[in-house]
């Protein structure tokens, strides 16, 4: 079953999913570089793991949004 993120048309273009993951990655790097508290590092790491899992590992390979509609 597809998650709600996979059904929303905003996330269909690949460049948007890559941009979201890149922003989270750079946020994580910033938190590590500045020596922030562990809670912010763990929060950014969790968001990055969830985004990669949702947008790339479980994303439908056939180009559909998971609800049967073809990608525009």
Query: What are the tokens at 1?
Result: 């079953």
Distance of alpha carbon 72 from alpha carbon 61, whole angstroms: 15
Does 69 have pLDDT greater than 70? Answer: no
The total number of residues written for the chain in this structure: 72
Label residue 8 by pLDDT band (50, 70, 90): confident
Can you give the residue range of the structural domain that contains 31? 13-57
| 41 occurs within a structural domain | yes
Within a domain: 2: no
Q: Is residue 19 part of a domain?
A: yes
What percent of the chain is modeled with pLDDT above 70?
Answer: 79
Number of domains observed in the structure of the chain: 1
Is residue 71 domain-resident? Answer: no
Query: Is 44 a member of any domain?
Result: yes
Mean pLDDT (the chain, rounded): 83
Report pTM. 0.75
> Does residue 25 sit within a domain?
yes
Cα–Cα distance measured from residue 48 to residue 69, given in angstroms and rounded to the nearest whole number: 27
Q: For residue 5, is it within any domain? A: no
* Alpha helical stretches, state H, 1-72: 4-7, 14-34, 38-52
């Amino acid at each position: 079953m597809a998650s709600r993120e996979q059904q929303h048309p905003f996330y269909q273009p690949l460049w948007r999913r890559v941009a979201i993951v890149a922003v989270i990655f750079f946020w994580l790097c910033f938190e590590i570089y500045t020596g922030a508290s562990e809670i912010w590092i763990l929060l950014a790491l969790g968001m990055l793991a969830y985004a990669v899992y949702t947008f790339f590992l479980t994303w439908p390979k056939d180009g559909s949004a998971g609800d049967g509609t073809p990608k525009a």
